[in-house]
């Protein structure tokens, strides 16, 4: 059970990291190193801090993932990562500041991902693989 707790924490953190970095990078214009000045950096301080927060979220997610790998078999743990694909899509569609449209094919893909994770994680599949 502890492995699933750490897995959920890892998935939520990596989802949050993706959303933070997307929002932050959307606020910052394409810059070159030559154009970086203190005034420009102060103008985009909040988006840069949000991007750094996203990177920090990735680091925390990796730390949680180490605990997942200690507590779950890889065949049970790895499918959990794909849940972040579904969560990022749902958040990007539902949260107004991302303004991404819902699409039938993408929504179907998310449902297939969720079904696949459920199928891989189901007890019937685990019993069948142990027997055979």
User: Is residue 46 within 8 Å of residue 116, measured between CB atoms?
Assistant: no
Tens-place pLDDT, residues 109-128: 999 999 999 988 887 555 55
In 1-132, alpha helices (H): 2-27, 38-43, 45-71, 74-81, 83-94, 104-121, 123-131
User: Is residue 58 within 8 Å of residue 17, measured between CB atoms?
Assistant: yes
Kindly report the pTM of this predicted structure: 0.82
Tens-place pLDDT, residues 1-36: 888 999 999 999 999 999 999 999 998 877 666 666
C-alpha 97, offset from chain centre: 18
């Amino acid at each position: 059970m502890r492995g699933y707790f750490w897995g959920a924490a890892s998935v939520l953190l990596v989802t949050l990291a993706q959303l933070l970095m997307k929002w932050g990078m959307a606020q910052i214009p394409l810059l070159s190193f030559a154009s970086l000045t203190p005034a420009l950096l102060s103008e985009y301080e909040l988006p840069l801090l949000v991007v750094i927060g996203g990177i920090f979220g990735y680091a925390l997610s990796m730390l949680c993932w180490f605990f997942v790998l200690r507590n779950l078999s890889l065949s049970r743990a790895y499918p959990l990562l794909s849940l972040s694909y579904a969560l990022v899509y749902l958040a990007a569609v539902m949260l107004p500041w991302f303004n991404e449209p819902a699409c039938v094919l993408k929504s179907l893909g998310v449902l297939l991902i969720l079904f696949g994770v459920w199928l891989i994680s189901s007890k019937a599949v685990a019993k069948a693989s142990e027997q055979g």
